[in-house]
Amino acid sequence: MADENKEMDQDMTINVRNEKVEEQIKIYMKDKTAEHLNTLIESIRTRRILIPANMNEEKKPLPCLIDSPTKGKFLPIYTSREQVPREPQSDVLVNMPFLAANQMAASQGDKLSGIILNPFSDNLIFKRQLVERIEEVEKARNAAPKEKTMQMTPEQYLLFERKQFEFGYLPKRFFEQGKQMLEELCEQKEEYVDRFFEECYQQKRMYPYLPEDFSVMVMNISEELLIVRVDLPDRDMGYPSCWRVYFSWNDVTGRGRYFTVERTRDPKFNLLGEFGRDWKHIDHGQAPVEGAELQRIIDLIQENEHTS
């Protein structure tokens, strides 16, 4: 009788089910948007999952890793017992919270390339950068006071944060720090923009971008004039938001300018704008085609220098 109870207890331990999580995985695999990824993470963060493990000499379970010759080592995570393959068979299946598994993977640093959800069916990879970001957000969430429920839809919130960043935080830092900010931007490029944008996000869990979503081009126009172009993600855009922005810095005058190429309600009309130190928005009319934007901005800078 005792053996029967033991077998029943073990079966109960590994009888994990996550139907809603598995449904969200399929939705995200079909359409890999930031919104779907955030929904998936929110659905799995409070759930328990299974990890195959073998027992070491001290009778402690060691997770069985999946080793890809080209991509590195990954921690496999299964959302249900049915997802676990029969072969190769491990000594035990460890039932643990997803966040504990994510924390375990994040603590390995460069030793792990990330985690894989249901590797023999969905084969969804969370790269190490995302694993570490989930862990950072959870630490911040646990340390911060409880936040009020956000009344905006995810789409509205993404646009709200973009407007705050493109028309507020980014020019504000530039006009406060001047050339120092540009030097850091020129050195760190996409990493700088991504890190600063994430720092500005109020709901960090919803931050959807990675450094590769941005593009930074440094242009030394002359000995005294530096222009830096920053291309912003072309997804999650609304009205108004920026396709790209241009920073200019004149070493002779010690003056910086911040130009914006903005999306408008008319898909055929992009606006060339500018924000000054007084936070007034200047309308420079319709932006030229992308290849002519730089010359138009240089012309505006030179016109101002001649009239001032």
Residue 1 has pLDDT above 50, yes or no: no
Does residue 151 or residue 61 have the better pLDDT?
Answer: 61
Q: What is the pLDDT at residue 216?
A: 94
Residue 8 has pLDDT above 70, yes or no: no
Average pLDDT, the chain: 85
Residue 232's φ and ψ, nearest 5 degrees, are: -100, 160
Domain residue limits, the chain: 2-143, 154-307
Query: In the numeric block, which tokens belong to residue 167?
Result: 């028309």
Pick from 147-151, 193-197, 267-271: least confident: 147-151
Say if CB 270 and CB 243 are below 8 A apart: yes
Helical packing angle, 34-44 and 154-164, nearest 10°:
120
Say if CB 34 and CB 235 are below 8 A apart: yes
**pLDDT band for position 7 (50/70/90)?**
very low
Say if CB 64 and CB 53 are below 8 A apart: yes
**pLDDT band for position 89 (50/70/90)?**
confident
Q: What is the pLDDT at residue 190?
A: 93
The CATH superfamily of 2-143 is: Uncharacterised protein PF11572, DUF3234 (3.40.1350.90)
pLDDT tens digits, one per residue of 132-162:
999 998 888 877 655 555 566 777 888 888 8
Does residue 5 or residue 13 have the better pLDDT?
Answer: 13
Question: pTM here?
Answer: 0.52
Residue 189 has pLDDT above 70, yes or no: yes
**pLDDT band for position 307 (50/70/90)?**
low
